[in-house]
Each structure stands twice: as structure tokens, then as C-alpha cells.
Structure 1
Amino acid sequence: MTPGNSTARAAGIVTVVLAALLGSAYALGRSLVPDQVPGHSTGATTSVDGPHYADQPSGGEPSGTPSAGTPSPGSGPAETGQEGSEPDAGTDNLFGAHATSGSARLALTFDDGPDPRYTPQVLALLREYNVHATFCVVGENAQNHPDLIQAIVNEGHTLCNHSWHHDVGLGTRSADAIRSDLLRTNEAIRAAVPNAPIVWYRQPGGAWTYPVVSVARQLGMTPLHWSVDPSDWELPGAGKITATVLTQAQPGSVVLLHDAGGNRQGTVDALRRILPDLTSRFELEALPTDPT
């Protein structure tokens, strides 16, 4: 065998060995990466939005959260009362919930209130920058603090039903149980503001299921998700909350924040930093009371 043939043969062996090693590394890497849900272009997720109620898990995806491989809304029976398809919902497992504002404007949303310590601070900051937002309120908090519900409405903000007791597993219950929970929450809200429209529903934890979406629509409420989540419920600090929102915000974003459910001073402090920047780059709006 000539030296040239030996060199070529050795090079061929090296190539085969490298290819095999790369293939094994790729397979190992794939096995270590969780399956990703396709279509996450909006950044929408189904993470738990906070371990702040006694009956709620401390982290991770809640039981009942649709996972990758869950049939899309179009693969099952038609939803009662649903008309047409929703704008860019982000992922199949949102079951048609809105994940954008539906316009070029950016929407700030505040979950879990009202809270007598933090909600007034949020309202004051929004008033200072002439910004209207959407408050996804918990029924028992609305019942306990009707004055804050009135203040939210009087200052031009939009209300959203966020279940009676922030029940992450609500979507796994019967349709009758879901309906009772949502109606009870609406009744508490309307006891404070009888004529205020309640046209949005946000499932705690973003744990959307076909039954909870279907019942919400039957009751005249549009399911609302989000596209920017700084995970402020994890108490990362005002700096991190600010950086996440300002980096990820874009026209049409729905930003998830919290004004209750735990220590929300970090969120309030972040909002003080966020508003000057966002108002200089975007038009901010409360989600409309006529989402159709």
C-alpha cells in the first residue's frame, strides 16, 4: 500500500469516527432538551403565574395544563359561541386565547388583585403617565375590596375575570363547576360596579383547557393570555422585571404583571421604571370592552 493510500484510508476512518461521535452527541442533546411546543413566536407560555395562594402549587406547570401534543382547538368539537379564529394565539395549547392586544398597541395587565397595599400604588403610577391598563381580578378580592374595583373602573381601566380563588386547576373541573366559579366572580365584581363590562377571562396559571375556554365564551368573555411574562411572582427584583419587559415588549404585546397575591413592591418599583420607557416607544391601552 502506498503512503498516499494509507493517508487517504486514515482520513476516511477519522471522518467516519467523527460522524458517529457527532451523531451520538446530537442524539444525547435531543434527549436532554424538553419537547418544545411549535409556534411560540409570540413568546406566550403556559407557566404558573405565581405560588401565591394556599391551594396553588409552588412552581412548575400546574396539573391540568395542556402540554405539547394536546389537540388544537380545531381538532375537537366546535366551541359553543366561538366565532371565527383568534388572532395569533401563539400556541395550540392556548385553545384560542388571545396572546396579543389585537392591535399595534401594547397592553399592560395586572393579575390577582385588588390588594389594598399595592393596587393603589399601581393606579397612581398609571394615572401619572396617563396609561390605562387591564386588571384581572380574583373574585374573593373583589368582594373584600369593592372600593378598589370602583377605583379601577372610575380611572378608565378594563376589568377581567380571574376566577374566584385563583384556581389553577379550574379548567379540569366540570363545565358546571367552571360556570359557577366564573359567575360567582362576575357577581362580586358587579356588586361593586353594576354596569361595568366584564368581557375578558384569564385562567390562573395560563392553564387553559377546552372546557374553561368554552364556558368563558358561553358567558360572553374572551379568554386572555399574555406574550410578555417577567415572572414577577417569583420576586426576581425590580431590575430583572424591568429588563425583561423592556427587552421583550413590542407592538401588540400583552404584558403580565401582578398587583396582589404576595409581596408586589418589586413589581410596583419596576413599573415606575417601565412606564417612562414604554410610553416613549409605544401606545399603551386598556384592552377593549368590545374585543370582537
Structure 2
Amino acid sequence: MKRQIVLVMSIVIGLIFTCSPISIASVKERHEYEQTGKVFWEANTEEANIALTFDDGPHPANTPELLDILKAYHVKATFFVVGKLAEEYPEIVQRMIDEGHEVANHTYSHHYDEAVTKDVLMEEIDHTNQILSETVGIRPTYFRPVGGYYTDAIIDAALDLDQNVLLWSWHQDPRDWAGTPTKKIVSHIIEHAQAGDVVLLHDGGGDRQETLRAVKLVIPILKHQGYQFVTASELLQPNPLME
């Protein structure tokens, strides 16, 4: 009788976990996604190229100041914009493009949801693409999921819309989004810098003065070390995994 009770409890517990939205999310190993040739964390290259990427904008104050800094140092970056903000500040997105930066897709509403369904995410991606097409005349090459979440559903949603997926180098998240002081952001990026890095930073989502000050310091240091700053497309295309 005890064995039967234990068996029944095991089945019930198993069903509970199997039916939870997060637990049933199918997730492959990173290398399996990379083998598609359309999902990236960084570039496999010996060239001293690094991509600075900025999430969660455009922001009406942070982003123009950041663009001023990048312009002063003749540096190109990639901006993963939130659709609803691009819709509100199209002139800032246009400036990004006019000054040679790459604009990429970071969903429309920026909801953190690892268990997001494929259909919902496709609507989010497509909505942002439509906004960018109508306001600034581009269709992004790259999509970055919110929070860096990746599951089969998330990856498939992007690939079905012919979007490449770009996360970031796991060693290049200085946590500027958490209010990390300028000095720590700078030291993290400099100490971990490698050829082909994709650096995660933010121009939206709050006060980014620490980030802006860090960018001013990081660029000349890495340039002195021989690194060049390029956009995501310049870093990843042609796709080194497919050569």
C-alpha cells in the first residue's frame, strides 16, 4: 500500500513539473544553436574586432549623449532597440542609422518572460520590424531576446522571421543594468577583452550615466591595445561558422 501511495505521489509530482510553462520549455546546448549558423554569442575570429552593443533604448537623454561619445571617437556600435520606444523616438533611431550604427530588434514591449510562446514572440519581433520599416526604412538583421533567454520557441520565432539571433559573450556582461559603478564596468570589459567579443551594455532602462562614463574610458584604452570597434554585421558576416 505504501509503495502504491509513493508511486501515485511520484506521478502527480512529475505531472506538476511537466506541465509548468518553464519546465517544458525545450532548450538545447549553446553549440547546437550555433550550428544553425544563425545564432551567435560572439565571433570566431583572430582579428582584434569587438562589437559594442546597447540594449533597451532609444532613451531621449541617454542615447543622444551616447551617440555624441561614439561620434567623437569614430566608433560604430549596434543598438538593440525596443519597438515601442523606437516608435516614440524615431528621430533618435534615424540618427543612429545616419551616423553608421546598426539597429537591431529587441522586441516591442520588452517583457521578461522565459516561457513566452513562439506566436507571441513572433508578433513582438514582427511589430518592431514593421515600425522600423515604416519610420526609418530598415529591416534589422539581428534580434536579441530579452534577458538573454533562449529556448527552442524563442530561437524558432526569430529564425522563422528570417532574423539572426545575437546574444553576447558570456564574459562580457559588466552588469551595467544593475547600477555597477563606472570603474567596475571599465575594468570588467578591459580585463576580459578578446577578439570577436560582443559586449553587453545598455542605453535605456534607467539612469545610464555610469555606462556613458565607462564607454568614454573603455574606447581609448581598447583602441590603444589594438582593438577595432565594429557593428554586429561587420563582426559576424561573413559567418565564420559557415566557412
**TM-score above 0.5, yes or no:** yes
Match status 1:283 vs 2:228:
yes
SS in 2 for 1:150: helix
Which consecutive unaligned segments of at least 5 residues does structure 1 have? 1-62, 87-95
Equivalent residue letter for 1:181: E
Question: Superposed, which structure 2 residues align to 1:124-203 within 5 Å?
Answer: 124-169=68-113, 171-194=114-137, 196-203=138-145
Larger radius of gyration: 1
Residue number among 165, 173, 184 corresponding to 1:240 in the alignment: 184
Classify 1:145/1:284 alpha carbon distance in 2 versus 1 (closer, same or farther; 3 Å).
Answer: same
CA contact (8 A) 2:27 2:150 kept: no
TM-fit CA distance, 1:66: 10
Within 1, Cα distance between the matches of 2:108 and 2:158?
Answer: 14
Match status 1:72 vs 2:29:
yes
TM-fit CA distance, 1:74: 8.2
Which consecutive unaligned segments of at least 5 residues does structure 2 have? 1-20
CA contact (8 A) 1:101 1:107 kept: no
Q: Identify the structure with the greater helix proportion.
A: 2
Q: Determine the structure 2 residue equivalent to 1:118.
A: 62
Q: Identify the structure with the greater strand proportion.
A: 2
Classify 1:219/1:130 alpha carbon distance in 2 versus 1 (closer, same or farther; 3 Å).
Answer: same
CA contact (8 A) 1:175 1:211 kept: yes
TM (norm. structure 1) is: 0.67
TM (norm. structure 2) is: 0.80
Within 2, Cα distance between the matches of 1:106 and 1:261?
Answer: 23
What do the CA deviations read for 1:132-173 (whole angstroms, capped 9, x no partner)?
11000001110000000100011111111001111221x523
Q: Determine the structure 2 residue equivalent to 1:6.
A: none
Equivalent residue letter for 1:223: V
Within 2, Cα distance between the matches of 1:130 and 1:71?
Answer: 39
Aligned pair count reads 212
SS in 1 for 2:104: strand
Classify 1:270/1:164 alpha carbon distance in 2 versus 1 (closer, same or farther; 3 Å).
Answer: same
What do the CA deviations read for 1:109-134 (whole angstroms, capped 9, x no partner)?
00000001110111111111111110
Residue number among 145, 162, 176 corresponding to 1:220 in the alignment: 162
What do the CA deviations read for 1:203-238 (whole angstroms, capped 9, x no partner)?
111011111111111111111111110000110111
Within 1, Cα distance between the matches of 2:216 and 2:30?
Answer: 39
Within 2, Cα distance between the matches of 1:71 and 1:212?
Answer: 12
Within 1, Cα distance between the matches of 2:186 and 2:109?
Answer: 28
CA contact (8 A) 1:113 1:258 kept: yes
Q: Determine the structure 2 residue equivalent to 1:53.
A: none
SS in 2 for 1:109: strand
Equivalent residue letter for 1:248: H
Q: Determine the structure 1 residue equivalent to 2:216.
A: 272
Within 2, Cα distance between the matches of 1:235 and 1:279?
Answer: 25
